[in-house]
Structure 1
Amino acid sequence: MSPNILLTKPGKTANGAIQLTGSKSECNRALIIEALSNSKVKVQNVSDAADTVLLHGILKSGKVNTVLAASEIENPISEVNIGPAGTAMRFLTAYFTLQPEEVILTGSARMKQRPIGILVDALRELGAEIDYVENEGFPPIHIKGNLEQKTNRISIKGNISSQYITALLLIAAKLPQGLELQIEGELTSRPYVEMTLAMLAQAGIQHNWNDNVISIANQDFKETELPVEPDWSAASYWFSIAALADEAELFLGGLTAYSLQGDSVITEIMANFGISSEFKDGGVYLKKEAKAISKKLFNMKKCPDLAQTVIVVCAALGHEATFTGLETLKIKETDRVAALQNELAKMGVKLIEDNEQYTLDCSGKFIPQRMFINTYDDHRMAMAFAPLALLIPELEVEDAKVVEKSYPAFWTDLEKVGFVVSPLAP
C-alpha cells in the first residue's frame, strides 16, 4: 500500500484544461481484438491505466510471469497474475481457451473473491477445459488451450456482469462454428456490450442481435486501426468537481458527443446539477450554472461505474436521491455499496438499502474539518471522494497510488486546477 495524501483546495472554484488518458474499457477490448487478429488490427492511443499496461504486457510478451514445475505435469504450465485487474481476468479467461498453451490465471487476494463461475461454465459448454485451482467458482483457474468446440449455442445470465458477455463475444469470430449467445433476463450494463460489438465491427467482425440472441459467425478480422477515445469514466470526476464548486469552467480535451462509452451519459446526469456541457474545439467545456436539483431517482444499471461519483455528489449537496441498478457494485474491486455506506457515515449521511433500492438520508449530514477516506483497494473510491476537498478543509485519502488502476495522472491533474496534494509520511 502506498502512502496517503492530504487534499486541500484553497477557494471554491475550479478552472483549467485537462487531457484525459485513453479509455480503459475501450483499450482493454481493443488489445484483445488486436491479439486475436494476429496484429491485423492496430490500437491507437493505448491507455496508461495500470490495468491496461498489465494486459498489454501479457498479450505482447506471448509469455507469462512464472512457470510451475510439477513432476506430474507433462508440459510446464505458465502462470499469469493479473493482480486486481477484473476486466483482464474475464477477457483473458476466454482468450486463453483459444491459445496453444496451458496457463494458471490468478490475481490479487480480492480477485480470488470475485466470481468467475458463470463465464467458466459458458466456456466449458463451448468445449473449453478449465479447472479451479483453489475454490470452486473463483480464481485462480487452470486453462488448457486449443478449445475443441462442442456447440455454438449457449446462454448466459444478463444481470451479473457484462464483462462475461464481452469476453465471449470477443472470441466468437475465432470459434470454428461461431457463436449464438442467448442472454437470459435483463441485460445489465448494455452500453458496454454495445461498445464491444461496435469495436468488433470496426475490426471487420459482423454480428446479428435479435431479441436476446447475439450471433457472430466464424470470420476473419480486417486490417484496420482502432482509435481509443479518452476515458469518460475518468471525466466523471471532473463533472463532480464542477458540481461541488461554487464556480467552475473546465475543458476536457478529446471527448466527443458521440461516444462508444456508456459513461458519456454523465453529461445528462450532471445537467441535473447545473453542469452544462458544450462540445467544441476538440473536447467538452464544463460550466457550473445555478440550478435547483429536482431529479430524485437515478437508475445506474447502464452505467454502474458512475454510481460512486453521483452518490457522493448527492450526499455532499444534501440531496436525498434514490438509486437503482447497483446490483453489480458488490462484486467490484470491493463491495462498493458497503464502502460507500462506511465512508458517507463519516459525514453523517446514510445510504439505506431496501430491496435493490438505495436512498440517501442526509438528515444528519455535517461537514467535518478533517475526514479520512478509506479506499478499499478501489481506484473509484479514491476519485469519487476526492472532490469533497472543495467542502472539507482537510481530506486525507488512503493509498494514493490506488488511482493508477485507471487514471494515473489524477492527482497531478487535480493540482492543475488548484488542489493542493500533499504526500503524508507512511
Structure 2
Amino acid sequence: MKHNIILTKKSKSVIGTVHLTGSKSECNRALIIEALSGGKVKVENISDAADTVTLLQVLSHKSKVESQEKNDSGLETQDLRLVNIGPAGTAMRFLTAYFTLQDEEVILTGSARMKQRPIGILVDALRELGAGIDYVENEGFPPIKLKGSLVQLSNKVSIKGNVSSQYITALLLIAARLPFGLELHIEGELTSRPYVEMTLTMLQSAGIQHSWTGNVISIPNQDFAETSLHVEPDWSAASYWYAIAALADDAELFLPGLTPYSLQGDSVITEIMANFGITSQFKDGGVYLTKEVKPLARKIFDLKSCPDLAQTIIVVCAALGHEASFTGLETLKIKETDRIKALQNELAKIGVKLIEKGQVYKLDCSKKQIPERIFVDTYEDHRMAMAFAPLALLIHEVEIEDADVVEKSYPAFWKDLEKVGIAPPNPPR
C-alpha cells in the first residue's frame, strides 16, 4: 500500500555526515560480470537499492518460478522460468542480453510501466547475433521469451547511440562470452557516453580487453580474470545532497567514500553545482560540501552525458528562480515515467514552466511562487521523489506521494534526511 511522507525543515542550515549506498549503475554491471565470469569475479560493497536486490535474486536463481497454467501476471509460462523484474529498467536490459547465453528458456517481464518501455532496438541487435527472442504481448516491448543457448550468426551489429546507453552496455557485457566476440557499431551521436565508458572500464578491471576506434567498439572472445570489483558509493544519490546544499542558507556536509576519480558520469555534479556556490573538497576519504552565495553565471546546462541528474538540476534552478536552459534530455521521456511531462506538471505547482523548444528546454520563472505547502506526485519514479524533496528548505511543508518509491535506488533516503533535520513535522514516537 502506498504511503506519503510530509517533509519540513525548521532551520535553513544543513550540517551532517551521510553514508551513501553503493552505486546502482556500477553494482548492476558488476553483478552481470560476476555471473558471466563463472565465479572468477567477486563483487564488493553491493548496493541495497531495490533494483540491485532484484537483479541479484534473479542471478542467484531465487526469483519466482511459475509452473501453473497462468501466473500472477496473466502470462502463460508452460513450466518456463518466469523472471519478473518489476520496475527495474537496468535489470530488464542487462538480463535480456544475459539470458541469451544461458542454457534455459525464460520469460522476462516487469511492471505495467516496464511493459511500456521499448526494448526493440536491443532485441533486434541480439537477433542479428543469433539470439532466439519472441515478444509475448506487444511487438517491441516486454514481456519477452528468451530461448537461450545463442548460436552466433555474426559478430557485427549496429545500434543507435542516442536512445539508451543501457542497450549498448547490455551487448558489451556479454561480448567476451560470444564465440566470435563482438564488433559494435554505434550509429549517430552517443548519449550518456560516461555510462559506456564505465562498462568498458569495469570489464577491463575483470580482464576483458577492448578497442574503441571512432564509432566502433570491438571485444574479442576471451576469459575473465580472477579479481574483485569494489563498488563506489552512488554519485546519483550524492546529487540530492548537492541540491539540498544549494537550497540551504548554509551547508556543511560530508559524504564518505566518494572520490574525484569516479567511473560514474554523475560525478560531474561537482562541476555543475559549483555554479550554485557549492564547493567540493576531497579529503579524509570522502567529499566535503560547503555553500557560499554566488550569482549563477552558467545559463545553459548540457545534460546529455548525465540525464539522471536532469530532474535534480532543473528543480534547483526553478526553486532559485534561475531561468536556465537545458539540452541533452532526449532519453527522459522513456524512463520510469515521461520525466519531461512529470517535471512540467510538478513545477507548475510553484508557478514555473518548463518550455520545450525542439531539443532545448527553458525555464520560465516569471510567475514563480513559494507556497506554504505543496503536494508532489512521483509517477512511480524514484528520482521525482528525491529531486523535489529538497524543496522542504524553501516550502514549509512538502508532501511526497508514494514515499517508498525511493527504494529503487536509495532506500535510506528519508532516514538520511531526518539526520540533517529534514523530517516529518510530527514524527511518530
Of 389, 396, 401, the match for 1:398: 401
Partner of 1:27: 27
Matched, 1:39 2:39: yes
Partner of 2:218: 215
Partners of 1:411 and 1:421 within 8 A in 2: no
Partner of 2:59: 59
Which deviates more, 61-70 or 32-41? 61-70
Of 143, 146, 149, the match for 1:143: 146
Partner of 1:100: 103
In the TM superposition, residue 74 of structure 1 has moved relative to its aligned partner by: 11
| 1:88-116 CA distance string (max 9 Å, x none) | 00000000000001100000000000000
Judged with a 3 Å threshold, the aligned counterparts in structure 2 of structure 1 residues 63 and 369 are, in CA distance, closer, same or farther, namely: closer
Partners of 1:41 and 1:222 within 8 A in 2: yes
Of 204, 208, 217, the match for 1:205: 208
Partner of 2:390: 387
Separation in structure 2 between the aligned mates of residue 271 and residue 92 of structure 1, nearest angstrom: 37
In the TM superposition, residue 424 of structure 1 has moved relative to its aligned partner by: 9.8
Partners of 1:6 and 1:423 within 8 A in 2: no
Of 240, 243, 246, the match for 1:240: 243
Separation in structure 2 between the aligned mates of residue 81 and residue 423 of structure 1, nearest angstrom: 38
Partners of 1:97 and 1:144 within 8 A in 2: yes
1:119 match: secondary structure = helix
Separation in structure 1 between the aligned mates of residue 200 and residue 294 of structure 2, nearest angstrom: 38
Judged with a 3 Å threshold, the aligned counterparts in structure 2 of structure 1 residues 259 and 383 are, in CA distance, closer, same or farther, namely: same
Partners of 2:68 and 2:78 within 8 A in 1: no
Partner of 1:5: 5
1:268 match: secondary structure = helix
Partner of 1:299: 302
Of 77, 89, 93, the match for 2:92: 89
Partners of 1:68 and 1:78 within 8 A in 2: no
Separation in structure 1 between the aligned mates of residue 29 and residue 68 of structure 2, nearest angstrom: 29
Q: Which letter maps to 2:205?
A: Q
Of 159, 170, 175, the match for 1:156: 159
Partner of 1:341: 344
| 1:147-185 CA distance string (max 9 Å, x none) | 000000010000000000000000000000000000000
Matches within 5 A, 1:302-313: 302-313=305-316
In the TM superposition, residue 64 of structure 1 has moved relative to its aligned partner by: 4.3
Which runs of no fewer than 5 residues in structure 1 stay unpaired? none
How many positions carry a matched residue from both structures? 423
1:16 match: secondary structure = strand
Q: Which letter maps to 1:417?
A: V
2:252 match: secondary structure = strand
Separation in structure 1 between the aligned mates of residue 113 and residue 32 of structure 2, nearest angstrom: 23
- Identity of matched residues, %: 75
Separation in structure 1 between the aligned mates of residue 412 and residue 423 of structure 2, nearest angstrom: 14
Partner of 1:316: 319
Judged with a 3 Å threshold, the aligned counterparts in structure 2 of structure 1 residues 363 and 77 are, in CA distance, closer, same or farther, namely: same
Partner of 1:358: 361
Partners of 2:278 and 2:292 within 8 A in 1: yes
Judged with a 3 Å threshold, the aligned counterparts in structure 2 of structure 1 residues 417 and 424 are, in CA distance, closer, same or farther, namely: closer
In the TM superposition, residue 62 of structure 1 has moved relative to its aligned partner by: 6.5
Partner of 2:48: 48
1:187 match: secondary structure = coil
Per the normalisation by structure 1, the TM-score is 0.97
Partners of 2:50 and 2:411 within 8 A in 1: yes
Judged with a 3 Å threshold, the aligned counterparts in structure 2 of structure 1 residues 389 and 212 are, in CA distance, closer, same or farther, namely: same
Separation in structure 2 between the aligned mates of residue 205 and residue 16 of structure 1, nearest angstrom: 40
Separation in structure 2 between the aligned mates of residue 75 and residue 14 of structure 1, nearest angstrom: 56
Partners of 2:69 and 2:77 within 8 A in 1: no
Partners of 1:4 and 1:423 within 8 A in 2: no
In the TM superposition, residue 225 of structure 1 has moved relative to its aligned partner by: 0.2
Of 127, 132, 142, the match for 1:129: 132
Separation in structure 1 between the aligned mates of residue 300 and residue 77 of structure 2, nearest angstrom: 58
In the TM superposition, residue 291 of structure 1 has moved relative to its aligned partner by: 1.0
Partner of 1:226: 229
| 1:266-323 CA distance string (max 9 Å, x none) | 0000000000000000100000012111110000000000000000000000000000
Partner of 1:374: 377
Partners of 1:241 and 1:387 within 8 A in 2: yes
Judged with a 3 Å threshold, the aligned counterparts in structure 2 of structure 1 residues 424 and 374 are, in CA distance, closer, same or farther, namely: farther
Judged with a 3 Å threshold, the aligned counterparts in structure 2 of structure 1 residues 192 and 76 are, in CA distance, closer, same or farther, namely: same
1:328 match: secondary structure = helix
Separation in structure 2 between the aligned mates of residue 23 and residue 67 of structure 1, nearest angstrom: 35
